[in-house]
Structure 1
Amino acid sequence: MIALLVLLGVFGAGAVLSLRSVLGAGSWLGGGRVAVIPLRGTIAEEAAFTGALEQFRDDATVRGFVIEIESPGGTVGASQAIFEAIRALREDDERPVLAWLGDVGASGGYYAAVGADSVYALPGTITGSIGVIMEFPNAEELFRKVGVEWEVVSSAPHKDMGGTRRPLTPADREILEGLVRDVHEQFVDVVSANRPLDRTTVQRLADGRVYTGRQARELGLVDGLMTLRETVAHAGRLAGLGPDPAVVRPREPAIGLFDLIRGVSLDRARGWLGVLAPLRSSAPKLLYEWR
């Protein structure tokens, strides 16, 4: 910035025009850039991603968005929150919003992707896995062998269902299967509402199986096969920046020496390292996740 002011003072506007010609029309000085926002790892919380999205949404120099997805999915709530943030940007903003799927963009990762204007993948991307899973351990036999007995006082017979202390009763299983069916239907609703596919077709595809990117393109789950670089170039063209736009990414936080000396919380350190999934508790969770 200081160099730019010196150029303005000494050489006038001609120097800025020359600098613009060197940097290109897609640079910050040339009028805009494309924000590439990563969504990586198991999805267990939405705050880091939605915070970055909001930051670039408010940046007038950002003229387009690419959501770079490398994720097998994760919890239902976080996946839905990220989808809603992307969908809101797409619907409320004229700037292009593209999603790109890398090695894996499945289940909750795919759920998030369909919030964008269009979705691109590599031919060998693993995607799809439109389904829901709920799993939890039953350690009743283990507790019995080691001589541990659990005393449970609850307000109703289903209050402790899904815990580690006892197996599911038939009534418990019926209740949990109802939850799984409902969130599966929500997944189908989102895909059919945001892809050029009717609901019957999506239901046929939504049996939990995964597809390659090429298969997904043939089935209408993605719009095309591109590398990340090609997707950014496409976003640049759509934004009027040309095929070689300037790119901006969220700043990667780092752990400093004093943080290590003082000690940091596990959650904070994990966020700095870009790993979204916390250690799972034994509590049952509904998951949009490829296993």
Structure 2
Amino acid sequence: MDQSNAGSPPHRPRRRRWPWVVGGLAALVILALAALGIALALLGGAAGTATPTTYDEEYVSGAGTQKIAVIPVEGTIASADSSLAGPVPIATPEGLRDALRQAREDESVRAVVLAVNSPGGGVTASDLMHDAIQDFRRATDKPVVVSMGDVAASGGYYISTAADRIVANETTLTGSIGVFIPLLNFSEASKKYGVKQIYIKSGRFKAMGNPWNELTEDERRIFQSIVDQYYGEFVEVIVEGRDLPEKRVRELADGRVYSGIQAERLGLVDRLGNLDTAVRVARDLAGVDEARVVRYVQSPGLLDLFLARLEQPEPESLQLLRAANLDLEAKPYYLYLPGA
């Protein structure tokens, strides 16, 4: 027996470290690219040079080379936050314009169905979306049909009036024709606890509507004049879009909601039915016998998923404010808000 290696430690195979090194370098490269993408996206948004969103096409039904594009408009209508990266929701003027641009540039798209399921939202955002639909119709001659979901009220109805036809479910809640400006008032609490806000202002109305003071009659008249102006614009789009007399529209536009059945009887919508009904109407208006129905959807990219992971959860206090509708800004809304 060979005793030459007696007493020496057993031989251990040399550990290979290169897989760990390569993996670490790859992870660093991925993080660097993600950071660069975020920086470029934020810079692009700040500079107003963000590229238009392109939507994926999800097959719904039908066949053929010609298409009916279904564009979902879901949730509260609001302007997109240009400081954030990633695709914008279609329930924003920016997102809707991107979707309509895609339908305009696609020659195989013969008609558009807007699947509206929205309680409305900001006055300006609703008006911009209404204009986007009208611009699309004028530029393309492609018909636009609205298919109302559970709710298509206030701003949701406002944008619908720009379409060629409106189809509602029997159980749809629509209408809520009107405008409001939410104003909080802490004056009683400020008296009770001895807290008040001091404003150094340039004119007597500069800080009007601040929550620490009671609204004066002059301030109320000013706010009411703004509400009346936007209410008049709402009435006007219904008169033009639905071909109804102004007197009749004002009778209907007292803020109440209507069921789909009621809205059809009153002339606020054209017929009752679901998305399939709206597609048939769009196909007939476009003069095509057969078409493939596709829905525009957003597929989040790697950057969007990365940003979502970084996003902090919303504080519980803010969630409670939203639930009580206390987070609304003091600005005009075309919004269906029970109790408003």
State the TM-score, normalizing by the size of structure 1.
0.80
Q: Is the 8 A contact 2:182 2:329 kept in 1?
A: no
The alpha-carbon deviation at position 126 of structure 1 amounts to 0.7
The alpha-carbon deviation at position 91 of structure 1 amounts to 2.5
- Equivalence map 1:1-291=2 (5 Å): 27=63, 30-45=64-79, 46-242=93-289, 245-253=292-300, 258-261=306-309, 263-264=310-311, 283-291=329-337
CA distance in 2, matches of 1:285, 1:250: 31
Q: Is the 8 A contact 1:132 1:289 kept in 2?
A: yes
CA distance in 1, matches of 2:165, 2:256: 22
Q: Is the 8 A contact 1:33 1:241 kept in 2?
A: no
CA distance in 2, matches of 1:113, 1:205: 16
**Which residues of structure 1 form unaligned runs of 5+?**
1-22, 268-278
CA distance in 2, matches of 1:233, 1:199: 31
SS of 1:180's equivalent?
A: helix
Q: Is the 8 A contact 1:97 1:117 kept in 2?
A: yes
Q: Residue type matched to 1:289 in 2?
A: L
Q: Is the 8 A contact 1:162 1:283 kept in 2?
A: no
RMSD between superposed Cα atoms in Å: 2.5
CA distance in 1, matches of 2:326, 2:100: 26
SS of 2:116's equivalent?
A: strand
The alpha-carbon deviation at position 73 of structure 1 amounts to 0.9
Going from structure 1 to structure 2, the CA distance change for 1:241 and 1:53 (only over 3 Å counts) comes to: same
CA distance in 2, matches of 1:230, 1:106: 20
CA distance in 2, matches of 1:134, 1:259: 33
State the TM-score, normalizing by the size of structure 2.
0.69
Going from structure 1 to structure 2, the CA distance change for 1:130 and 1:164 (only over 3 Å counts) comes to: same
**Which residues of structure 2 form unaligned runs of 5+?**
1-58, 80-92, 315-324
The alpha-carbon deviation at position 251 of structure 1 amounts to 2.4
The alpha-carbon deviation at position 265 of structure 1 amounts to 7.7
Q: Residue type matched to 1:155 in 2?
A: S
Q: Is the 8 A contact 1:101 1:125 kept in 2?
A: yes
The alpha-carbon deviation at position 76 of structure 1 amounts to 0.6
CA distance in 2, matches of 1:223, 1:149: 53
SS of 1:79's equivalent?
A: helix
SS of 1:133's equivalent?
A: coil
CA distance in 2, matches of 1:168, 1:191: 32
